[in-house]
Amino acid sequence: MNKALRSPTIFLLFILPALILFVMFFIYPIFSSIYYSFTSWNGVSAHVKWTGLENYTKALEQKRFWVSVQNNGWFIVFSVFIQVPLIILFSLLIAHVKKLKGLYKTTVFLPSIMSTAVIGILWGFIYEPDIGLLNQILGTFGIKPIYWLSDERYAMLSILITNAWQWTGFYIVMVLAAILSIPGELDEAAAIDGASAFQRAVRITLPLIRPIISVVIMLSIAGAMKAADIVLVMTKGGPAGSTEVMATYMIKYAITNFKYGYGNTIAVLIFIFTVIVTVLYQLLIARRNERIEY
């Protein structure tokens, strides 16, 4: 029995392919990024010049870098304070309707299976100043055309709305699954005791789905930190750098401007910032959410 399942050759043979790829594409890149973040290298020449912390001080002094950090911050703020409440509201609504439940569930999920690039193009068209859908709708209320993507005041907001449009349904389905897995007796018992639907939602359902909401927040933070494709497709970081995020800033330097060393510095900073935000969130909020059994 044990002999049949104890063959070092087979074990190695089964482990190695995945392990080699994992080391090549996860472990090695981390160390390579850290190493090159201390150099000024253009990514091609044979000569790699060690510059110590110079890239880091340079990044932290750059105004454009801090604008990109701030924009990642906007992604987090928007998803935590606007998207999450909407996610909870719509999940509760869908969980409690009897008719059309399936329709709501499948339709809200639809945008999240589509390519961010194509959604960026689609919304770029909706935001188009002259013939785009949004300004046409506003026009019927007598509001003058707004240059959604080319006005510094609105560009970031426009991207955030598009991003929310794409991902809200994805999280709704996750939260909904959690709500529907709560045993029905709890809700029924409260209903017999005379609790209103609103009371039951706030006192029973919400506390029980706190763990999944925590997961949703964590996932949105992770998503916010790596947002890049939507910005590249919709504004390329413009107008005047106003929608730049850390990842697009990194790409701009490393690939377009051949500052490979500096680009890796930004990559390491993205990593550090993500860890900081995650740890802060865990310490301040998530720790209070003890596991719930029912």
Partner 1 sequence: MTRTWKKGLPHLFLLLYLVVILFPFLFVLFSSVKTDNNAIALNPFGIPHKLVFHNYVEAWVNAKISTYFFNSLYISVLSSVVSILLGSMFAFAVTRMRYGRVAAALFGLVLVGMLIPNNALMLPIYTLVRKLHILDTHWALIIPYVANAIPFTIIILAAFMRSLPSEIEEAAVMDGLRSGGIFARMIIPLTVPAMVTVFIVNFLGNWNEFLLANYFLSNDDLRTLPVGMVQFRDQYQMNYAQMSAGIVFSVVPVIVIYAILQEKIIEGVTAGSVKG
Q: Measure the CA–CA gap between 89 and 16, rounded to whole angstroms.
A: 47
Q: Measure the CA–CA gap between 93 and 130, rounded to whole angstroms.
A: 36
Per CB under 8 A, 279 contacts partner 1: no
- Per DSSP, the three-state class of 49 is strand
Buried b (16+ CB within 10 A) or exposed e, 253-280: bbeeeebbbbbbbbbbbbeeebeebeee
* Tokens 């550090």 found at: 272
Per CB under 8 A, 260 contacts partner 1: yes
Beta strands 39-40 and 49-50, pairing class: antiparallel
Q: Closest separation between CB of residue 99 and partner 1, Å? A: 8
One character per residue 191-210, x = contact with partner 1 (rule: CB under 8 A)? ------x-------------
Per CB under 8 A, 11 contacts partner 1: yes
Interacting residue with partner 1 among 53, 77, 189, 222 (CB under 8 A): 222
Q: Measure the CA–CA gap between 166 and 237, rounded to whole angstroms.
A: 19
Q: Closest separation between CB of residue 179 and partner 1, Å? A: 10
Closest CA to 240 of 156, 164, 160: 156
Q: Closest separation between CB of residue 107 and partner 1, Å? A: 5
Q: Closest separation between CB of residue 10 and partner 1, Å? A: 5
Per CB under 8 A, 14 contacts partner 1: yes
Candidates 55-63, 150-158, 186-194, 214-222: pick the segment binding partner 1 (CB under 8 A).
214-222
Per CB under 8 A, 79 contacts partner 1: no
Per CB under 8 A, 43 contacts partner 1: yes
Considering beta carbons, is residue 77 or 255 the nearer one to partner 1?
255
Q: Measure the CA–CA gap between 171 and 48, rounded to whole angstroms.
A: 45
Contacting residues for 243 by C-beta, under 8 A, at least 6 apart: 71, 155, 156, 159, 231, 234, 235, 237
Per CB under 8 A, 237 contacts partner 1: no
Candidates 62-70, 116-124, 150-158, 183-191: pick the segment binding partner 1 (CB under 8 A).
116-124
Considering beta carbons, is residue 139 or 188 the nearer one to partner 1?
139
User: How many residues contact partner 1, by CB under 8 A?
Assistant: 95
Q: Closest separation between CB of residue 94 and partner 1, Å? A: 7
Per CB under 8 A, 221 contacts partner 1: no
* CA-based radius of gyration for the chain: 24
Candidates 56-64, 67-75, 143-151, 256-264: pick the segment binding partner 1 (CB under 8 A).
256-264
DSSP state of 98: S
User: Residues 136 to 175: which contact partner 1 by CB under 8 A?
Assistant: 136, 165, 169-170, 173-174
Q: To 10 degrees, what angle do helices 116-126 and 152-180 make?
A: 130
